[in-house]
Structure 1
Amino acid sequence: MSRLIVISNRVPMPEKNGTAPAGGLAVALQAALEERGGVWMGWSGKSSGTKEPEPLALTERGNITYALTDLTKTDVEEYYHGFANRVLWPICHYRLDLAEYARKEMAGYFRVNRFFAHRLAPLLKPDDIIWVHDYHLIPLAAELRQMGVKNRIGFFLHIPWPPADVLFAMPVHEEIMRGLTHYDLVGFQTDHDLENFRGCLVREGFGNAIGEGLYLSHGRTFKGGFYSIGIETAAFAEFARKAAASVMVRKARQSLEGRDLIIGVDRLDYSKGITQRIDAYESFVSRNPAHQGKVSYLQITPKSRSEVPEYEAMQRTVAEQAGRVNGALGTVDWVPIRYINRSIGRPVLAGLYRLAKVGLVTPLRDGMNLVAKEFVAAQDPEDPGVLVLSRFAGAARELKGALLVNPYDIEGTANAIARALTMGREERIQRWQGMMTHLLEHDVKRWCDDFLADLTAEAENPAPATSGGQD
């Protein structure tokens, strides 16, 4: 069996006992690497200042070699904080108004990808299978091909892929598109993302669709598919069941004093729709006096990319908004919104999901959103909560039992909250069972296995048999 080489911007190093860090993606990729043997390479998260970074730091854990590299301060500023997170991230999330393009940062992005390629190449064996992850590393395959690497290389995009009119507003969209055509398999979260990619490819003449899941660009054939990433469903469900009895979750239950709990969990990011969600909750409470004092909304929002000005400003905005609602609607014995601006341990989080009557997952745009899937998996089968989900999250393509909302429609989301809180037990169970059955079948291992099966498939049988479907 060929070795697997995984490249991602950051590498989740395993614990000293060898277990993967919390999170389904890390668990699945570590399991695939253990099975095949291989290398996981990426940025260490450290800056070497202005000097050339030291050679790769190699750490052997079982069958896996973890290969970490530092970057210079300029690299981090231009590649990571700059082009990746101030151009690609907003554009892929349809926020042209927030994209700040600078040629220097674009050059830094391509330079760091070239740097990664040069550090990776000496580790490669001729039959290695290479799997590149996410928007930080789109040009990596092109750099490797330039160096003569002929291995099969796959790419998976964890965030949305925008339609042509959005992508083409980016000055270097041709280079980005050309970079993707150097992979053997390009994977997206949903069929909509794949359709958008195909439209970008064909509309500007970058390539053509020549068969089911097969594309031709500049004489090179590659595959495209969609692979909806899952979670470790069964394990997380058991995790949540046990976590419900933890001390912290018991304290949270007692503090509710019989009130219904609505929960939202998001990294602090403008794509998550947190301000619109708070507006919707305020509207719900204002228009439903019977629920005042009888419901609590817990919003858990760890800080994110605080070095980027937009995120720092958003942190202040959300905190002020939650404070305003509490000041306007709260009483001596009731705080409408509990806002936590830090990370919560996964065991406690799983127990809080199970405790909640409503999961409020309303991003303005999201590649998938695993919080939605974790909320469903965590529920008590005998008395499950209701998922209120944005139709613009990739998870909406799978979780048909959720109440789908337009997060820009404040009143519509408020109505969905009211419906979720008053929904009968029989309907809640029916909706939950359909979603849970799907999540058990389409878990993160299935996602990983399906992508690698298509990447390693022989070229003469190119059509991807993806977990979600194909173009």
Structure 2
Amino acid sequence: MPSDERESDAPAPTERPGAERAGKPTRPPGWFDVTPSDDRSGGSGADSKAAATDAAASFLDGRRLVVMSNRQPYSHEYDGDEVVVNRPAGGLTAALDPVIQTVGGTWVAWGSGEADRVVADDDVVEVPPEDPAYDLRRVWLDEEQVDGYYYGYSNQALWPLSHSDTTRATFSRDDWKCYREVNELFAEAAVEACDDADPVIWFQDYHFGLAPQMARERLGEDAFLMQFWHLPWTGWDVFRACPQAEQLLDGLLANDLLGFHTAAYCQHFLDTVEATTDYDVDRGTRCVRQNDRRTYVRPFRIGIDADAQAAAADTDEAASFWETFADAHGLEDRRVGVGVDRLDYTKGIVERLEALEQFFETRPEWRGEFTFVQKGSESRSRIPAYRKVQERVEAKVADINSRFGTTDWQPIVYTTEMLSGEALAGLYRHADLCLVTSLRDGMNLVAKEFAAAQLDTTGVLVLSELAGASDELGDDAVLIHPSDTPAVADAIERALSMPADERERRMRGLREQVLDADVYEWIASQFRTAERIERPGPEQESAVDA
């Protein structure tokens, strides 16, 4: 299955699930303040997960939730003649799964597993298999659709465009046709799963830029539609390079609530709407008005399951992996840096290696004393630009190791081996620094994974200022511009030479932020915001009238 990007607000209403509903609420005639800074419940672990479930249940109030994503939470594969279930190992699907298990509903996703059709009944399978709690509705795509919708328009048009890389963006008419067709298939599947008069659909990501409008046309204004766009939103002057810009905006503006990672992305989106359409953009309220309907645009900073990451770093498997890995590569008595990335041109991996090369060239005292571990994951290898990144990374690693390596030391340890979550957490825990050099990144969860796994609070995060995570982690990270090679080399030295008390202070700050603003808070804040949009209280209505 293709690998997606792994690769975020006022007090919650007191009404709990099961309370009597007073009919369909009227859409507010104006706007009330709903921002993430106002609606942070804090906490982590079981409390955070429960808060997300409570927020979803309170908003749904007995309605069925329909979630739509490209990647499915469970897939069925063949192991010999036996059908086995692959479960969510991490990321968004793993975080949403327990919430949807509690509130119930339907998850609409691409049925990509080789045995998915065998177990489906009318395209639906109940999950999880041992204790079914919700329906997984699979959408079937043929190779032509996968090539055009996923590898084509999603990842050779929208992906580079959203990362402000118009030179790589290609807008094939055939790919656009497939993208429309697949969005139509997903929208139809979602509508079929709706059995309420006022259903709720939550769309995930850039694969579904048209589906909200398609669903709206079928369901009408009583449906509540919400979407989170997991990529950056670029400036309007870049977005207008897309020949289908207006169609995509109309698709997204069919939502009642549209979420981005940061306030800057929200602003960029509103700039794009204002420059491209005749719709009324209210800058003060971050709202787009289309006749009687409004789309509220809000920032929600996605997090990780930080408690689970910390727990993984403290397992015997993590310790055993590190002991074996360190012994195999001679890392026991050396300082260690780590980078963990999909092999994607937006991640700045080649730029990172160039900075490491300059570091070893200009600071010979660190040769033999510091080793950098680069964990890469091949991604979207059907696309030539991704294959080129893989080739360039391998060539650069070989060049650096040939230039500076000795018989008992390699400056770069490069691996594309699949690592378990525990093994990766063990690598994070024992690293002295983590390098995140994204050229552009919606958020970047590696930075947060590293912080959560740093149980000993001795590591330093060197973070690109072009990653969305820099907005919330920048105070305690060492910020760099990934294309300023000498400055990145300086930052590596600074991180390695940083006094122990400063390292600990910075990492404690990072961990506090990451543990508090976890993925469950991201889920909860969106449902709280949705509830306030749909059912504003008396104080909010008074503020609107004023």
TM score, norm. by length of structure 2:
0.80
Equivalent position SS for 1:307: coil
Map residues 35-114 of structure 1 onto 2, 5 A cutoff: 35-45=102-112, 55-61=122-128, 62-114=132-184
Partner AA of 1:433 in structure 2: R
Partner AA of 2:205 in structure 1: D
Change (3 A) 1:105 1:245: closer
Seq. identity, %: 34
**Which of 351, 365, 390 lines up with 2:464 in the alignment?**
390
Between 1:264-273 and 1:211-220, the stretch displaced more is: 211-220
Tell me, in whole angstroms, the C-alpha distance in 1 between the residues paired with 2:419 and 2:110. Answer: 25
Tell me, in whole angstroms, the C-alpha distance in 2 between the residues paired with 1:336 and 1:413. Answer: 16
User: Number of matched residues?
Assistant: 458
Q: Name the structure 2 match of 1:338.
A: 413
Change (3 A) 1:305 1:19: closer
Q: Which runs of 5+ in 2 are unaligned?
A: 1-60, 77-82, 541-546
Change (3 A) 1:166 1:54: farther
Alpha-carbon offset, residue 47 of structure 1? 8.9
**Which of 238, 251, 267 lines up with 2:311 in the alignment?**
238
Change (3 A) 1:244 1:297: farther
Q: Name the structure 2 match of 1:438.
A: 513
Q: Name the structure 2 match of 1:136.
A: 207
Between 1:206-215 and 1:99-108, the stretch displaced more is: 206-215
Tell me, in whole angstroms, the C-alpha distance in 2 between the residues paired with 1:339 and 1:158. Answer: 28
Map residues 335-374 of structure 1 onto 2, 5 A cutoff: 335-374=410-449
Tell me, in whole angstroms, the C-alpha distance in 2 between the residues paired with 1:266 and 1:355. Answer: 18
Map residues 138-153 of structure 1 onto 2, 5 A cutoff: 138-149=209-220, 150-153=222-225
Tell me, in whole angstroms, the C-alpha distance in 1 between the residues paired with 2:193 and 2:317. Answer: 45
Partner AA of 2:160 in structure 1: P
Alpha-carbon offset, residue 311 of structure 1? 1.0
Equivalent position SS for 1:67: strand
Tell me, in whole angstroms, the C-alpha distance in 1 between the residues paired with 2:237 and 2:227. Answer: 23
Between 1:197-206 and 1:257-266, the stretch displaced more is: 197-206
Tell me, in whole angstroms, the C-alpha distance in 2 between the residues paired with 1:402 and 1:298. Answer: 19
Say whether the 8 Å CA contact 2:233–2:265 is kept in structure 1.
yes
Equivalent position SS for 2:180: helix
Equivalent position SS for 2:67: strand
Map residues 167-316 of structure 1 onto 2, 5 A cutoff: 167-210=239-282, 211-243=284-316, 246-254=319-327, 255-316=330-391
Partner AA of 1:41 in structure 2: V
Tell me, in whole angstroms, the C-alpha distance in 2 between the residues paired with 1:19 and 1:104. Answer: 33
Equivalent position SS for 1:293: coil
Deviations 1:388-441 (A, max 9, x none): 000011110111200010001111111000000010110011111112111122
Equivalent position SS for 1:398: helix
Alpha-carbon offset, residue 239 of structure 1? 1.6
Partner AA of 2:398 in structure 1: G
Between 1:386-395 and 1:113-122, the stretch displaced more is: 113-122
Deviations 1:124-182 (A, max 9, x none): 12243211000001111111112234421100011111010110011111111111110
Equivalent position SS for 2:509: helix
Deviations 1:32-73 (A, max 9, x none): 21221111111112699xxxx995242343321111122022
Alpha-carbon offset, residue 99 of structure 1? 0.6
Say whether the 8 Å CA contact 2:462–2:491 is kept in structure 1.
yes
Tell me, in whole angstroms, the C-alpha distance in 1 between the residues paired with 2:498 and 2:74. Answer: 43
Say whether the 8 Å CA contact 1:153–1:184 is kept in structure 2.
yes
Change (3 A) 1:186 1:245: closer
Tell me, in whole angstroms, the C-alpha distance in 1 between the residues paired with 2:491 and 2:90. Answer: 29
Q: Name the structure 1 match of 2:73.
A: 12
Tell me, in whole angstroms, the C-alpha distance in 2 between the residues paired with 1:28 and 1:457. Answer: 23
Tell me, in whole angstroms, the C-alpha distance in 2 between the residues paired with 1:229 and 1:19. Answer: 24
Q: Name the structure 1 match of 2:37.
A: none
Runs ≥4 residues deviating over 4 A:
14-20
Say whether the 8 Å CA contact 1:57–1:69 is kept in structure 2.
no
Alpha-carbon offset, residue 209 of structure 1? 3.0
Partner AA of 2:285 in structure 1: E
Alpha-carbon offset, residue 218 of structure 1? 5.0
Change (3 A) 1:14 1:87: closer
Answering whether residue 527 of structure 2 is matched by residue 452 of structure 1, we say yes
Q: Name the structure 2 match of 1:468.
A: none
Say whether the 8 Å CA contact 1:47–1:73 is kept in structure 2.
no
Q: Name the structure 1 match of 2:34.
A: none
Deviations 1:67-126 (A, max 9, x none): 112202211111111111100000001110001111111111011101111222221122
Tell me, in whole angstroms, the C-alpha distance in 2 between the residues paired with 1:246 and 1:281. Answer: 27
Change (3 A) 1:425 1:173: same
Say whether the 8 Å CA contact 2:187–2:211 is kept in structure 1.
yes
Q: Which runs of 5+ in 1 are unaligned?
A: 466-471
Answering whether residue 193 of structure 2 is matched by residue 123 of structure 1, we say yes
Change (3 A) 1:122 1:56: same
Say whether the 8 Å CA contact 2:318–2:425 is kept in structure 1.
no
Partner AA of 2:437 in structure 1: T
Equivalent position SS for 1:96: coil
Tell me, in whole angstroms, the C-alpha distance in 1 between the residues paired with 2:75 and 2:514. Answer: 25
Question: How large is the Cα RMSD of the aligned pairs?
Answer: 2.3
Tell me, in whole angstroms, the C-alpha distance in 2 between the residues paired with 1:246 and 1:69. Answer: 41
Say whether the 8 Å CA contact 2:190–2:201 is kept in structure 1.
no
Equivalent position SS for 1:335: coil
Say whether the 8 Å CA contact 1:300–1:343 is kept in structure 2.
no
Partner AA of 1:356 in structure 2: A
Tell me, in whole angstroms, the C-alpha distance in 1 between the residues paired with 2:192 and 2:517. Answer: 36
Partner AA of 1:213 in structure 2: R
Tell me, in whole angstroms, the C-alpha distance in 1 between the residues paired with 2:436 and 2:148. Answer: 32
Say whether the 8 Å CA contact 1:269–1:304 is kept in structure 2.
yes
Alpha-carbon offset, residue 244 of structure 1? 7.1
Change (3 A) 1:23 1:245: closer
Alpha-carbon offset, residue 204 of structure 1? 2.5
